[in-house]
């Protein structure tokens, strides 16, 4: 018993250490939970796609439409949600939206027709649009720039875990009961999330660089309540000052790297006013003039395009191509998920390690290399008919691909003014949602055109690896513009700090 307790305590200390202290761990866990619940829903539809085909007499294109409607509605709703994120309490927004989410998730399980299910999925799409803009904005205000890629890796792990858990639980629920219970079961984590956000997520001040530093015990260190506690404010500022002093002695952030290298900002794009009240269109017009912003959101959208299409038909393809049962596939999803989780965390930490060694564009380099390496690995996994080799390579390929996600997300925060993080992320999510929505439709239609069945899906998966190569090339191009855009964001933030 004593040995078991010691192991648990050691594991707990290790987790706290990896996160950077108790306060950071709490915030990371809550933000990861937000993405996990969103991903659970997507995993649910993918897991029961086969049953839905039988229940409503659907083809691959119809299943693609069911998944696509969530993404297309999210694309339309994301930009308005980004405005709300930049202007109102992100904590309250999450609580309101997730509460509505619980109700609609339950309604999805009561669907008696394809049309009814399509409508409930569309509403879910509008509600999930708030998740990523909130997470990106809160990450920027809670954590300093030099740590964001590693932090993002831990947060995005929540999305990957959620997708695997949703896939597994929904698959088991549909096997033991029916597909209706797959949706009912997903209402439970959403309901729990409302309480988690209310209890454990403070609202930080925007753009003041009052971050939660390593070793911090109080998660409220970055919140508005600090102004009511001068002693806590002094302690937090002292920790921040020590962190900044360490940063100056070691170029551990892109901002410090461009300062040391005397990289000049794009003078015409340096802001001299607070952009909080800018219109949505003015914001997007400004951001799209930053070369790196467009390149990174395009690269990210192309990567998610493949993932969305593959996720939509994974259950159908794997069971037919490798000749294994649905229950076995549900279990193997957890194995692939572990590889993906490891890749996500490793990618973020690798980028930060290279950054600390003076590689200013490390985040871009890691992302571009990971995207390129994932293509041949996934290609062989899709081609082989050996279940053991295929699942093994899928696990490795998913891990390598996911290593690109955290560095790209952190790099986007580097080049965007802090008061534009919500709308900046909304712009990225709008494009990503359009690509994610189109992927299942195109995957389904192309697979049927190529003959249908697992052969049609196999050739579709292989053809759709091409956008991944394009994403990698966009990352390579972004290396040439990234540092100047980092310098522009840093210069723009100075007049607006408080």
Higher pLDDT, 174 or 342: 342
Judged by DSSP in three states, 207 sits in coil
Mean pLDDT of 308-324: 77
Task: Examine the pLDDT at 219 and tell me if it is beyond 70.
Answer: no
Higher pLDDT, 478 or 439: 478
Neighbours of 388 (CB within 10 A): 9
Q: Pull the structure tokens for residue 480.
A: 């040439």
- CATH fold for domain 19-205+278-496: Growth Hormone; Chain: A; (1.20.1250)
Say how far apart CA 393 and CA 309 lie, in whole Å.
Answer: 18
**Share above pLDDT 90 across residues of the chain, in percent, rounded to a whole number:** 9
Higher pLDDT, 336 or 389: 389
Q: Is the pTM of this model over 0.75?
A: no
Q: Picking from 122-126, 196-200, 476-480, which range would have the lowest pLDDT averaged per residue? A: 122-126
Judged by DSSP in three states, 204 sits in strand
Mean pLDDT of 129-134: 83
Q: Picking from 4-18, 105-119, 254-268, 271-285, which range would have the lowest pLDDT averaged per residue? A: 4-18
Angle at 309 between CA 449 and CA 98, to 5 degrees: 140
Neighbours of 466 (CB within 10 A): 12
Q: Residue 291's pLDDT is what?
A: 92
State the Cα torsion 66-67-73-75 to the nearest 10°: -160
pLDDT band at 228 (very low <50, low <70, confident <90, very high): very low
Say how far apart CA 53 and CA 45 lie, in whole Å.
Answer: 11
Residues 185, 169: contact at Cβ < 8 Å? yes
Q: Residue 470's pLDDT is what?
A: 93
Residue keyed to tokens 């993918």: 46
State the Cα torsion 485-486-492-496 to the nearest 10°: 150
Q: If you average pLDDT over every residue of the chain, what do you get? A: 78
Residue 118: Cβ-neighbour burial (10 angstroms; 0-12, 13-18, 19+): middle
- For the chain, what are the domain ranges? 19-205+278-496
Residue 195: Cβ-neighbour burial (10 angstroms; 0-12, 13-18, 19+): exposed
pLDDT band at 108 (very low <50, low <70, confident <90, very high): confident
Q: Residue 175's pLDDT is what?
A: 64
Task: Examine the pLDDT at 498 and tell me if it is beyond 60.
Answer: no
Say how far apart CA 349 and CA 362 lie, in whole Å.
Answer: 11
Residues 72, 125: contact at Cβ < 8 Å? yes
pLDDT band at 464 (very low <50, low <70, confident <90, very high): confident
Task: Examine the pLDDT at 177 and tell me if it is beyond 80.
Answer: no
Mean pLDDT of 1-16: 62
Task: Examine the pLDDT at 250 and tell me if it is beyond 50.
Answer: no
Say how far apart CA 38 and CA 318 lie, in whole Å.
Answer: 24
Mean pLDDT of 125-143: 83
Mean pLDDT comparison of 31-45, 59-73, 115-129, 210-224, highest-scoring range = 115-129
Q: What are phi and psi of 223, to 5 degrees?
A: -95, 170
Task: Examine the pLDDT at 151 and tell me if it is beyond 50.
Answer: yes
Higher pLDDT, 186 or 195: 195
Residues 127, 150: contact at Cβ < 8 Å? no
Q: Residue 476's pLDDT is what?
A: 92
**Share above pLDDT 70 across residues of the chain, in percent, rounded to a whole number:** 77
Q: Residue 283's pLDDT is what?
A: 86
DSSP state, residue 369? H
Task: Examine the pLDDT at 100 and tell me if it is beyond 60.
Answer: yes
What are the residue ranges of helices labelled H in 177-229?
179-200
Taking every pair of C-alpha atoms in the chain, what is the biggest distance, in angstroms? 70
Q: Residue 326's pLDDT is what?
A: 66
Measure CA of the first residue to CA of the last residue in the chain; give whole Å. 52
466-494 per-position pLDDT tens digit: 988 999 999 999 999 999 999 998 888 76
What are the residue ranges of helices labelled H in 250-386?
254-260, 280-287, 291-321, 326-356, 362-383
State the Cα torsion 104-108-113-116 to the nearest 10°: 20
Higher pLDDT, 87 or 16: 87
Mean pLDDT of 318-323: 80
Cross-strand partners of 204: 223
Cross-strand partners of 329: none
Higher pLDDT, 119 or 52: 119
Task: Examine the pLDDT at 64 and tell me if it is beyond 80.
Answer: no
């Amino acid at each position: 018993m004593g040995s078991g307790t010691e192991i648990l305590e050691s594991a707990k200390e290790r987790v706290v250490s990896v996160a950077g202290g108790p306060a950071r761990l709490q915030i990371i866990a809550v933000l990861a939970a937000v993405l996990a619940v969103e991903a659970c829903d997507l995993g649910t539809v993918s897991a029961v796609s086969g049953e839905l085909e039988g229940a409503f007499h659907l083809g691959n294109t119809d299943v693609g439409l069911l998944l696509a409607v969530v993404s297309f509605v999210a694309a339309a709703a994301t930009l308005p949600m980004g405005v709300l994120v930049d202007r109102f309490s992100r904590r309250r927004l999450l609580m309101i939206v997730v509460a509505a989410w619980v109700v609609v998730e339950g309604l999805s399980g009561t669907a008696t027709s394809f049309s009814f299910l399509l409508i409930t999925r569309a509403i879910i799409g509008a509600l999930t649009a708030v998740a990523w803009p909130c997470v990106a904005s809160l990450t920027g205000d809670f954590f300093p720039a030099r740590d964001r890629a590693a932090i993002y890796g831990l947060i995005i792990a929540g999305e990957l875990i959620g997708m695997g858990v949703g896939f597994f639980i929904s698959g088991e629920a549909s096997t033991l009961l029916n597909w209706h219970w797959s949706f009912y079961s997903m209402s439970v984590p959403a309901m729990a999330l409302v309480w988690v956000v209310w209890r454990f997520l403070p609202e930080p001040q925007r753009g003041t660089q009052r971050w939660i530093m390593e070793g911090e015990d109080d998660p409220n260190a970055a919140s508005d309540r600090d102004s009511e506690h001068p002693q806590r404010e002094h302690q937090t500022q002292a920790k921040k000052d020590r962190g900044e002093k360490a940063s100056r002695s070691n170029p551990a952030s892109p901002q410090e790297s461009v300062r040391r290298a005397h990289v000049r900002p794009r003078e015409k794009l340096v802001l001299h006013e607070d952009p909080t009240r800018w219109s949505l269109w003015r914001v997007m017009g400004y951001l799209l003039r930053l070369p790196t912003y467009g390149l990174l959101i395009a690269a990210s959208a192309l990567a998610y395009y493949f993932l969305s299409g593959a996720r939509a038909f994974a259950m159908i393809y794997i069971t037919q191509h490798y000749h294994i049962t649905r229950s076995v596939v549900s279990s193997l999803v957890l194995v692939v998920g572990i590889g993906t989780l490891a890749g996500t965390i490793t990618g973020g930490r690798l980028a930060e390690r290279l950054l600390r060694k003076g590689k200013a564009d490390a985040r871009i380099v890691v992302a571009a290399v990971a995207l390129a390496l994932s293509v041949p690995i996934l290609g062989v996994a899709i081609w082989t008919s050996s279940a053991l080799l295929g699942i093994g390579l899928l696990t490795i390929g998913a891990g390598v691909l996911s290593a690109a996600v955290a560095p790209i997300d952190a790099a986007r925060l580097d080049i965007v003014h802090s008061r534009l993080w919500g709308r900046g992320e909304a712009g990225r999510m709008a494009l990503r949602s359009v690509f994610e929505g189109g992927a299942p439709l195109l995957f389904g239609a192309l697979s049927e055109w190529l003959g249908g069945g697992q052969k049609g899906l196999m050739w579709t998966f292989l053809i759709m690896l091409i956008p991944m190569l394009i994403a990698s090339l966009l990352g390579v191009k972004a290396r040439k513009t990234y540092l100047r855009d980092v310098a522009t964001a840093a210069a723009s933030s100075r007049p607006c700090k408080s």
